[in-house]
Chains A and B, each alone.
Chain A
């Protein structure tokens, strides 16, 4: 079944493949056609039929209901978190790879422990902490814990990558009298670009789609991000299901765009650290 040479087509596999496709596509098709359905036809028409009078009203309604603001919040939170994650993780990975002392090994082990902790489990103390810091219901309340929880895996992936950089390169930088920051900037960053992109994409997806932190740590419309906005639209648009599903479609568009532009990066980002 893996061969370029002519083999018997595997009928069973083909049937299975098409069946799974149906399972994947029907819900997505349903989301799309329903979001194009006029609100009044939602009760009357067959949910899977293409709408008789397709309309973009639902999209207009969502966009008029602050969707762009939530989108902006999501962008700010995601970009800030990812930038900070990359900066601090890259520095930490540099230390772990280059100074092999008992202390750095201890640091690395502490980070590894973090990979196995389910985030949800610490939400109550995080919540308490954020309130004590006076950050409740700010975007910073989402950014800071997001950074913290992304560090372990990011450091692990970057460390693995940096290990493969020949020692001589670092040494030659040191001989040239370059400081740590310059070495980081001029050598480590360019060399580890593929890993940095992977870690960046992976964490961007995590933060972008995160639901629990926004649910617990924010409350007002000013600080609402997209996943939470879907949840609140559901309450706001009472039985306006087309609008709710239009919001779902809009929430997927940015990632779809990313997928179309950089499919390989997105796939590698998704499967970050689980290869080999």
Chain B
């Protein structure tokens, strides 16, 4: 008798605790899984996207879509870059994926396709794909488990080539012109050091900005094929002489004081590397084009007075690679989750075909300093451009590039990417030699 009373009160208590904790998260939208959130109408879809960059463009495109399609609403969740990368994979793996999955293509997309987590968009997205620069669009094409090839991801925002940004004022003071070859770069480093400024700002704490050097140098020295062999997982692919030479040149730059002596505590997430350039503490920074809005926001006078210069990465004398090649993120991509209901999938596909590069969206991209990778956009860009000609420069650089190499950490599977970042940062810190790097990385290809 008494025991059952205790049991009842216990049940009440536990229910109460759980009720409170569940009530507390009312409003915290459950990321829509197959049964998550308020799956009312059949055509409702969910999307996860990134904050910063062209966030405002995505937000207004979702608003436009939801205004026009009351029975096929898309609810969106927003994440910071690093957090997103850590979350999306598990969401996809646990069947809690959003209908629209934001990605960088590359190794992660290949994993999704291998796990049948995303759907083939070849037919539905064909009209959209026809409008996009082929070097960018091709990243969305993946060989599926059955051996066929399909389009599993479609570009959804601007091209993000990695460019050399510089402080024109510091260049003038040191009597340096824009370096077009590696030797000129070394020369500029020497002259700028003598002036007492850090020649190149490098966010070494974040590790990923260091990738841009090995990517460009390897490409300039040996061409894109070198990394292709690595992605294909060929044994000892890292032993290519081009990789060794690129690493040797990296350490040569470090020894020459190119990155100053405190790059290890500069973080890219906090924009410290670009801040060094606009505050006149460093002369150059090699970064993705997504930092341009940061310059605009944090140092408007600096940009407007024409002190911010930009150029493609220098050539390496005697190298095999075309100096017009670029590295970076060709764009970001939408994929559609295979675990979503057919109705939600239809909503997602309709949205990405109609809204991704609609006229309104293109105008908005250009207004925030972002360049969509579309064919025949020259006139529109010329209209939107400011005095510096930045937008046209980015567009043309992407358009004429024979090869646009996806960032290595995105192209490789996650475990290899992390090993790459860790080992590369040790090369920059002179803790390991190029040969040790090559051995460690070859070991990950197993």
Question: Within the complex, are A and B direct neighbours (CB within 8 Å)?
Answer: yes
Binding site for B on A (CB under 8 A): 43, 76-77, 80, 83-84, 87, 127, 131-132, 134, 136-140, 143-144, 179-181, 219-223, 232, 234-239, 241, 244
Q: Which residues of B contact A234 (CB under 8 A)?
A: 269-270
Q: Which residues of A contact B77 (CB under 8 A)?
A: 220
Check A239 against B22 for contact (C-beta < 8 Å): no
Q: Tell me if B376 is interfacial: C-beta within 8 Å of chain A.
A: no
Check A84 against B17 for contact (C-beta < 8 Å): yes
Q: Which residues of A contact B274 (CB under 8 A)?
A: 239
Please, could you name 29 A-B residue pairs with CB atoms under 8 Å apart, sorted by A? A76-B24, A77-B24, A80-B24, A83-B17, A87-B13, A87-B17, A131-B90, A131-B96, A134-B33, A134-B36, A136-B94, A137-B30, A138-B22, A138-B25, A139-B21, A139-B25, A179-B5, A180-B2, A181-B9, A219-B84, A220-B28, A220-B79, A222-B27, A235-B269, A235-B270, A238-B298, A239-B271, A239-B274, A241-B270
- Find the B residue at minimum CB distance from A140: B21
Known: A234-B269, A239-B270. A181 touches B22 (CB 8 A): no
Q: Tell me if B275 is interfacial: C-beta within 8 Å of chain A.
A: yes
CB distance from A190 to the nearest CB of B (A): 19
4 pairs of A and B residues whose beta carbons are closest in the complex: A238-B271, A222-B28, A138-B25, A140-B21
Q: Which residues of B contact A180 (CB under 8 A)?
A: 2, 6
Q: Tell me if B43 is interfacial: C-beta within 8 Å of chain A.
A: no
CB distance from A49 to the nearest CB of B (A): 18
The distance in angstroms between the C-alpha atoms of A185 and B443, with both chains bound, is 63
The distance in angstroms between the C-alpha atoms of A237 and B298, with both chains bound, is 10
Check B83 against A80 for contact (C-beta < 8 Å): no
Q: Which residues of A contact B114 (CB under 8 A)?
A: none
0/1 string, B428-440, CB within 8 A of A gives 1: 0000000000000
CB distance from B216 to the nearest CB of A (A): 24
Q: Which of A80, A137, A236 contacts B51 (CB 8 A)?
A: A236
Q: Tell me if B31 is interfacial: C-beta within 8 Å of chain A.
A: yes
The distance in angstroms between the C-alpha atoms of A181 and B3, with both chains bound, is 11
Q: Which of A43, A181, A222 contacts B29 (CB 8 A)?
A: A222
- Find the A residue at minimum CB distance from B272: A239
CB distance from B267 to the nearest CB of A (A): 8
Check A139 against B24 for contact (C-beta < 8 Å): yes
Check A80 against B21 for contact (C-beta < 8 Å): yes
Q: Which residues of A contact B275 (CB under 8 A)?
A: 43, 238-239
CB distance from B169 to the nearest CB of A (A): 15
Check B294 against A238 for contact (C-beta < 8 Å): yes
Enumerate B1-35 residues with CB–CB distance to A below 8 Å.
Answer: 2, 5-6, 9, 13, 17-18, 20-22, 24-25, 27-31, 33, 35
0/1 string, B271-284, CB within 8 A of A gives 1: 11011000100000
The distance in angstroms between the C-alpha atoms of A11 and B56, with both chains bound, is 63
Q: Which residues of A contact B297 (CB under 8 A)?
A: 238
The distance in angstroms between the C-alpha atoms of A77 and B20, with both chains bound, is 10
Residue among A127, A180, A234, A238 with the highest chain B CB neighbour number at 10 A:
A238
CB distance from B71 to the nearest CB of A (A): 25
Check B272 against A139 for contact (C-beta < 8 Å): no
- Find the B residue at minimum CB distance from A237: B270
The distance in angstroms between the C-alpha atoms of A232 and B80, with both chains bound, is 8
CB distance from B41 to the nearest CB of A (A): 21
Q: Which residues of A contact B30 (CB under 8 A)?
A: 134, 137-138
Known: A179-B5, A235-B269, A239-B270. A131 touches B94 (CB 8 A): yes
- Find the B residue at minimum CB distance from A131: B94
Q: Which residues of B contact A77 (CB under 8 A)?
A: 24
